[in-house]
Amino acid sequence: MNTEKYILLSTYTRYSKIESAFVQELFEHDLIVPKTKDNEVFIDENDIVIIERLFRLHRDLGINFEGLCTVNDMLARIQRLEAKMNQLQQRLNLYE
């Protein structure tokens, strides 16, 4: 495991306003995949954006974890569709 890309969970929760219990729930609902090494739990630095987005949805809108799963899936689908749309737009631009 390349530790430059990962942040120790306890360090992240210490410096953020997000409790480790919230992140543990994200793990249990497979919204975030933790990495474990030497009995320490790490999170991918790219997952921080996802954690913070889901935390805001949970805190501000009161969305439960099942709802967060649905929202996360929908956001991922939108991102894939936007990427595909951009790819098709670039291909279309070649013919203009």
pLDDT, tens digit (0-9, with 9 covering 90-100), for 13-50 = 999 989 999 999 999 999 999 999 999 999 999 999 99
> 32 is written with which tokens?
């975030």
Q: How far is CA 29 from CA 20, 90, 91, in A?
A: 14, 37, 38
pTM equals 0.80
Indicate the residue type of 26: L
Closest CA to 3 of 33, 48, 32, 45: 45
Q: With cut-offs at 50, 70 and 90, classify the pLDDT of residue 3.
A: low
CATH T-level topology, domain 3-94: Multidrug-efflux Transporter Regulator; Chain: A; Domain 2 (1.10.1660)
Read off φ and ψ for residue 16, nearest 5 degrees. Answer: -110, 175
Q: Give the 3-state DSSP-derived string for 27-42, with helices as H, strands as E and coil as C.
A: HHCCCCCCEEECCEEE
Encoded tokens for 94: 């070649």
User: What pLDDT sits at residue 95?
Assistant: 85
pLDDT tens sequence across 38-90: 999 999 999 999 999 999 999 999 999 999 999 999 999 999 999 999 999 99
pLDDT value of residue 51 = 95
Q: Would you kindly state where each structural domain of the chain is located, as residue ranges? A: 3-94
